[in-house]
């Protein structure tokens, strides 16, 4: 990736952060902290990794992405709009009565959404099933699944990791949005476990560590994923909850609440200033 492209990705990410904050503000509810922490990863996936085409959304051989942490739906919707699956105007209807943009992703109402998720721990199993199905179909398509680090507390996640490793699902890549926070506080305080990397390795996963807001690091990790042919990979992406909005950053309280009018103004202003900086204005 050349420097200009990285810069452009950063600019798009800021623009999408504005859409995320706006849509949650208009909805008066949603999960800004969790959406902002994984937005860069989602953007990188849809821009550089996933072989998907918004004009052929049902193509059999397309790559699949499953947002197992479904509450980050506003980020997914903003990125789907950037990828052409939705219109940016649609984002205003988030969580509204009759809208096809549900609070958590619904595969039947929203183009580009591959699996209905929201109940934590469930998307990862579906991703395993997709990877197993694609292998049976001799498809070259790959499956990517994003999990929250709080989500790892669900036992089903570990059932799924066992399944993925046992079945050698090398066409499957997990990404952990490792922002360190959950609703009740820091993951370590609530019910955290240490040594994520060793745990994942013990299951038989290939583990990669990256800064989830650094496009160069993401590029390296996703390139490496393609080289691993005998087992699934997990990318542990260190992220900042609420990334890009100063007063939301690293605050568990911003996991799932909408900004009020004043907070909304400050947030948008901050993000716009950042865009200006990138543009050198």
Count the neighbouring beta carbons within 10 Å of the beta carbon of residue 59. Answer: 12
CB 101 within 8 A of CB 137: no
- Which CB, 140 or 269, lies closer to other proteins? 140
Please provide residue 103's backbone torsions phi and psi, each rounded to the nearest 5 degrees. Answer: -55, -35
Tell me how far apart the alpha carbons of residues 146 and 67 are, in angstroms, rounded to a whole number: 5
Binding mask 57-76 for other proteins (x = CB under 8 A): ---x---x------------
Tell me how far apart the alpha carbons of residues 126 and 117 are, in angstroms, rounded to a whole number: 9
The reply to whether 127 sits near other proteins by the rule CB under 8 A is yes
- Which CB, 119 or 140, lies closer to other proteins? 119
The reply to whether 253 sits near other proteins by the rule CB under 8 A is no
Half-sphere exposure of 171 (CA within 13 A, CB side): 24
CB of 192 to other proteins, least distance (A): 22
The reply to whether 126 sits near other proteins by the rule CB under 8 A is yes
Three-state DSSP class for 172?
A: strand
Place of tokens 């370590």: 188
CB 104 within 8 A of CB 129: no
| Single residue of 106, 153, 186, 250 touching other proteins by CB under 8 A | 106
The reply to whether 108 sits near other proteins by the rule CB under 8 A is yes
| Single residue of 130, 187, 240, 248 touching other proteins by CB under 8 A | 130
Segment lying near other proteins (by CB under 8 A), choices 15-23, 78-86, 101-109, 231-239: 101-109
| Single residue of 14, 134, 240, 248 touching other proteins by CB under 8 A | 134
Tell me how far apart the alpha carbons of residues 77 and 67 are, in angstroms, rounded to a whole number: 11
The reply to whether 52 sits near other proteins by the rule CB under 8 A is no
Tell me how far apart the alpha carbons of residues 146 and 226 are, in angstroms, rounded to a whole number: 17
CB of 179 to other proteins, least distance (A): 24
Tell me how far apart the alpha carbons of residues 149 and 112 are, in angstroms, rounded to a whole number: 24
Tell me how far apart the alpha carbons of residues 174 and 142 are, in angstroms, rounded to a whole number: 11
| Single residue of 76, 78, 79, 128 touching other proteins by CB under 8 A | 128
155-194 binders of other proteins (CB under 8 A): 155-156, 159-160, 162-163, 166-167
The reply to whether 11 sits near other proteins by the rule CB under 8 A is no
What does the block give as tokens for 22?
A: 């706006």
CB of 280 to other proteins, least distance (A): 45
Residue 193 per-residue DSSP state: -
CB of 162 to other proteins, least distance (A): 7
Residues in contact with other proteins by the rule CB under 8 A = 60, 64, 106-108, 114-116, 118-119, 121-134, 136-137, 139, 155-156, 159-160, 162-163, 166-167
């Amino acid at each position: 990736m050349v420097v200009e492209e990285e810069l452009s990705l950063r600019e798009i990410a800021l623009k999408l952060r504005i859409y995320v904050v706006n849509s949650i503000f208009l909805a008066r509810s949603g999960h800004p902290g969790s959406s902002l922490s994984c937005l860069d990863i989602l953007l990188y996936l849809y821009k550089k990794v996933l072989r998907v085409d918004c004009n052929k959304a049902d193509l059999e051989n397309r790559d699949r992405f499953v947002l197992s942490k479904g509450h980050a739906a506003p980020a997914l919707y903003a990125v789907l709009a950037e990828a052409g699956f939705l219109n940016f105007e649609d984002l205003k209807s988030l969580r509204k009565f009759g809208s096809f943009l549900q609070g958590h992703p619904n595969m039947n109402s929203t183009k580009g959404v591959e699996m209905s998720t929201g109940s934590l721990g469930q998307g990862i199993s579906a991703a395993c099933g997709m990877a197993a199905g694609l292998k049976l179909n001799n498809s070259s398509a790959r499956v990517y699944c994003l999990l929250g680090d709080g989500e790892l507390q669900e036992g089903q996640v570990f059932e799924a990791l066992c399944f993925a490793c046992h079945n050698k699902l090398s066409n499957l890549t997990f990404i952990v949005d490792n922002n360190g926070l959950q609703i009740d506080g820091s993951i370590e305080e609530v019910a955290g476990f240490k040594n994520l990397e060793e745990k994942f390795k013990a299951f038989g996963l290939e583990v990669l560590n990256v800064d989830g807001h650094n496009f160069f690091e993401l590029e390296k990790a996703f390139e490496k994923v393609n080289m691993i042919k005998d087992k699934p990979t997990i990318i542990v992406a260190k992220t900042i909850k609420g990334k890009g909005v100063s007063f939301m950053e690293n605050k568990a309280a911003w996991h799932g609440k909408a900004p009020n009018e004043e907070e909304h103004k400050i947030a948008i202003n901050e993000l716009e200033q950042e865009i200006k900086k990138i543009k050198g204005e």
